[in-house]
Amino acid sequence: MPTAESVWHLRTLCSPVAHARSTLLRAILLRSLCQVFRLAQPGGFLAQDSDAVARRIFETNFFGMLNMSKAFAPVLKANGGGALLNVLSVASWVNGSELAAYSASKSAAWSLTNALRHELAGQKTQVLGLHMAYVDTDLTRGFDVQKSSAEEIVQRALDGLEAGADEVLADVLTQQVRQGLAAPRPVYLPQAN
């Protein structure tokens, strides 16, 4: 687990380059959102090309995360521990036909994150799952929904790392959906109109 001192050093280093930090997160989020819009399709898993779509998105969202974790875990272990920050989504818990493959991949990534947390605890490596809904980027500009700023997301992630958290639910919608998993009619099931 990172120490308060190491997180403080990270924040100190990031402060003069807050713009670069924000730009980096925006690039990551933009890539993720581009992937969402590219892979959104009518018909979900029943669409003709759903196998190819699912393979592409799982390659990034699941196998990419797995391979990065496998690459960094030994380095973190050799240095006495550290942290992995896995960027997940509110889509880890809810699904719809338009984003079926994306949501399924984020659910798998959430499960991977939980498994890694158990596997890496013995080497003092924190595994933080960062869940979020809409983030204010160029791609979401036309969406009339509540959005978080990229800076807010980064700050909440850093706060979560410093606190030794397992998960960060970075916005109100994500918090509501997470609570809705335990509702009498959970949010992941079709809701009555």
* Residue 170 included in any domain: yes
* Residue 138 included in any domain: yes
Going residue by residue through the chain (193 aa), what tens digit of pLDDT does each one get? Answer: 444 444 444 444 444 444 444 444 545 454 555 544 454 555 577 777 888 888 988 998 999 999 999 999 999 999 999 999 999 999 999 987 678 888 999 999 999 999 999 999 999 999 999 999 988 877 677 878 889 998 899 899 999 999 999 999 999 999 999 999 998 988 888 887 6
pLDDT on residue 161: 92
* Residue 192 included in any domain: no
pLDDT on residue 6: 42
Question: What total of structural domains would you count in the chain?
Answer: 1
pLDDT on residue 7: 43
* Residue 129 included in any domain: yes
- In order of 23, 76, 83, 120, the CA distances from 79 in angstroms are 28, 5, 11, 13
- Measure the CA angle with vertex 183, ends 177 and 188; round to 5°: 55
| Signed CA dihedral, 175, 134, 167, 23: sign only | negative
* Residue 188 included in any domain: no
Measure the CA–CA gap between 25 and 130, rounded to whole angstroms.
13
Give the model confidence (pLDDT) of 12-35 as tens digits.
444 444 444 444 454 545 455 554
pLDDT on residue 5: 46
Which 8-state DSSP code applies to residue 79? T
Which 8-state DSSP code applies to residue 103? H
Task: Give the long-range contacts of residues 144-150, CB within 8 A, separation 24 or more.
Answer: 146/171, 146/172, 146/173, 150/22, 150/25, 150/26, 150/29
Q: Is 33 exposed, middle or buried (0-12, 13-18, 19+ CB in 10 A)?
A: middle
Question: For 57, what's the count of Cα atoms within 13 Å in the CB-facing half-sphere?
Answer: 28
pLDDT on residue 43: 59
* Residue 190 included in any domain: no
* Residue 70 included in any domain: yes
SS3 12: helix
pLDDT on residue 53: 84
pLDDT on residue 138: 78
Domain span holding position 169: 4-180
pLDDT on residue 127: 97
* Residue 67 included in any domain: yes
pLDDT on residue 135: 86
Contact 88, 130 (CB under 8 A): yes
- H or E element in which residue 169 lies: strand 167-169
pLDDT on residue 41: 52
The domain spanning residue 21 has which CATH number?
Answer: 3.40.50.720
